[in-house]
Amino acid sequence: MKIAFFSDVHANLAALKAFRDDIRGEKVDKVFFLGDAVGYGPNPNECLEIVCGISEVCLMGNHDYAALGLLDTSGFNQYAREAIDFTERILTEENKSRIAEFELEYQYEDFHMVHSTPEEPGQWDYIVTLEDADVNFGFVKRRICLIGHSHYPAIICKDNGAPPALIKEQSVKLDKKKSYIINIGSVGQPRDNDPRSCYLIYDTKKREARLKRVEYDIADTQNRMREVGLPDYLINRLEKGR
């Protein structure tokens, strides 16, 4: 069986459609969404309909939470706040209800899924360093923790009492004797200097977790953003992957 895990679509419809086409080609059996369907991008309603239509379970992201008016956005930068204001204005009641049903965290077989951190899922903190990961390994409820939020894909491994280590390869066979925290990257707004969408695909037979990149029509999303008046900063960063 193949399972796809994706996150941080951020209302980027072209990127989401490219991801959907890719998992069809991969003949994926299950799909899980790890949060932030909206924010930054121009098509929140269309993206929510697709995300909820293809996903077994949807998790809550901080931008999803903010779009419901449940999160103080004073800590967001100026451009993120403008995008949330736009999102709140155009979200349909049906799609607000969809977001309200999102889970804060979810466990499935060997996987503990959360948007931000297993330590405090609702505080929207980040796992950025190996030290952050080391702390959070203590809160992982299954052998493998999958996260999004930072938009930086990474595979971190912990072997018994040893310090966590970053795995440089984009694909790894998961050892049953080790624990992992894997940031699955972002479909709609990568920030690791690679503008292509990123998601995680897991082959249960091979026990292989693979970070996969997918090209999409960035110019199409940028044009849609201009049409709805989103900030130039958000438009330009897409092509740079940051």
CA-CA distance, 143 to 157, in Å (whole number)?
A: 10
Strands 111-114 and 144-147: parallel
The predicted model gives 192-199 an average pLDDT of 97
Partners of 144 in beta bridges:
111, 180
pTM higher than 0.85, yes or no? yes
pLDDT of residue 242: 86
Is residue 31 predicted with pLDDT exceeding 90? yes
Determine what percent of the chain is predicted with pLDDT higher than 90: 94
Amino acid code (one letter) for 159? D
- Residues of the domain holding 166: 2-240
Among 11-15, 21-25, 77-81, the range scoring the smallest mean pLDDT is 77-81
Quickly count: other Cβ atoms within 10 Å of residue 54's Cβ. Answer: 18
Q: Six-digit token pair at 32?
A: 């899980």
Contacting residues for 5 by C-beta, under 8 A, at least 6 apart: 31, 32, 33, 34, 111, 113, 146, 184, 199, 200, 201, 202
pLDDT of residue 208: 96
Instruction: Decide: 197 and 216 in contact? Cβ < 8 Å.
Output: yes
What tens digit of pLDDT does each residue of 40-74 get?
Answer: 999 999 999 999 999 999 999 999 999 999 888 88
Is residue 10 predicted with pLDDT exceeding 90? yes
Total tally of structural domains belonging to the chain? 1
> The domain that contains 40 carries what CATH number?
3.60.21.10
CA-CA distance, 50 to 177, in Å (whole number)?
A: 36
